[in-house]
Amino acid sequence: MIRYFFYVFGISLLFSSCEKDINIQLNPSTTDLVVDGSIENDKYPVVVLSRSLEYFNTIDPATLAKHFVHGAQLKITNDTVTAYLKEDSVINDSSGLVVYFYTFKPSDTTTKIKGQFNTKYTLTIDVEGKTYTAVTSITSMRKTIDSLWTTPAPSAADSQLVNVKARVTDPKGLGDYTRYYTSVNKGPYFPGLNSVFDDQITDGTTYTVTVDQGVDRNNPINIEDYSFFHKGDIVVVKLANIDKGTYDFWRTMEYNYQSVGNPFSTPTRVISNVSNGALGYFGGYAAQYVQVFVQP
């Protein structure tokens, strides 16, 4: 027993001698430009510009309102036409926050650009004496949803819950990247908890997959039943073919979402396709919308 005591005591000393207090001094972060931009087939581009927040900032509508970037000059080109975006705003119904963004208004008499399949777009941002650029493409509609249907949710306590199933065709040839969203009862489109996929496994096949309901990351997520839909819902699934740059941004972004608070996770840099040290991305979406009505 005495030998065991000294053995444990010795191990404790060994570990305690290896301990070291680490005091991390975080320097005030620079307010980097943050770009959240997209262009979709048959739609005008939308770009939100803001400034990054310090790590320990309190995030609330008042703080966010101060970080939108106003007065920037934005232009987009598709190699044949150049058009200039204008600043606009909309009120968020849930928070009352005024969200500022850059786009084209239908009433504008100046040149406008809508997204087209198989087209490359270059976004240029001039603000506060600096220039930032990003390039993306709207690909062709290669990977598609063939059909949607519903099945009872397995082992669910609530008999009103269902799964949505999709039959998807992935044509032969690697390099098809996708992101999906869902809308319920004409509500906003939210991306899935894991929303981006490549075709390393599915290339050249037609397969069936369960479509989890998209999530609003501003609200708590009930991991037990967030993925289900309810009987009586009208569900629209948006499947977007995306280019490699858009895929890399969301792949690394979602990895960071999942690793927050996990001490065993590996830090990952979010990959941006915007130049000059800006954060965020400008992405192209070749989107397909498919609806299913969940029978009561």
256-268: b (≥16 Cβ within 10 Å) or e = eeeeeeeeeeeee
Residue with tokens 């690697």: 174
Q: Are residues 61 and 105 in the same domain?
A: yes
Domain check: are 128 and 149 in the same one? no
If asked whether residues 186 and 235 sit together in one domain, one would say: yes
Q: Is residue 177 part of a domain?
A: yes
Query: 89 lies in a domain?
Result: yes
- What per-residue confidence (pLDDT) applies to 20? 53
User: What's 149's domain CATH number?
Assistant: 2.60.40
Q: Does 199 map to a domain?
A: yes
CB atoms closer than 10 angstroms to residue 144: 15
> 200: domain range?
144-245+287-293
Domain identity same for 108 and 175: no
Q: Are residues 37 and 126 located together in one domain of the fold? A: yes
DSSP string across 68-97: B--S-EEEEE-SS-EEEEEEEEEE-TTT-P
Domain assignment present for 220: yes
pLDDT at 269: 87
Residues 191 and 213 in one domain: yes
pLDDT tens profile 94-113: 678 899 999 998 888 999 99
My answer on whether 154 and 238 are in the same domain is yes
Last residue of a domain, one of 105, 138, 171: 138
pTM, 2 dp: 0.86
Alpha helices in 106-212 (DSSP H): none
Same domain flag for 62 and 134: yes
> Torsions phi, psi of 270, nearest 5?
-75, 125
Domain boundary among 82, 105, 138: 138
**What is the model's pLDDT at position 203?**
97
Round to whole Å and give the CA distance between 145 and 164: 12
Instruction: Evaluate whether 133 touches 73 at the Cβ level (below 8 Å).
Output: no
Q: Are 131 and 168 found together in one domain?
A: no
Looking at the fold, whether 206 and 164 belong to one and the same domain comes out as yes
Q: Do 218 and 194 fall within a single domain?
A: yes
What is the tens place of the pLDDT at every residue in 235-251?
Answer: 999 999 999 999 999 99
**How many domains, in total, are found in the chain?**
2
Distance from chain centroid for Cα 216: 11
Distance (Å, whole) CA 158 – CA 229:
11
How do residues 19-41 score in pLDDT, each as one tens digit? 555 454 545 556 799 999 999 99
Given a contact cutoff of 8 angstroms between Cβ atoms, the answer to whether 115 and 138 are in contact is: yes
* 172 and 230 together in one domain: yes
Of 94, 112, 138, the position where a domain reaches its end is 138
Q: Give CA–CA dist 117/139, Å, rounded.
A: 6
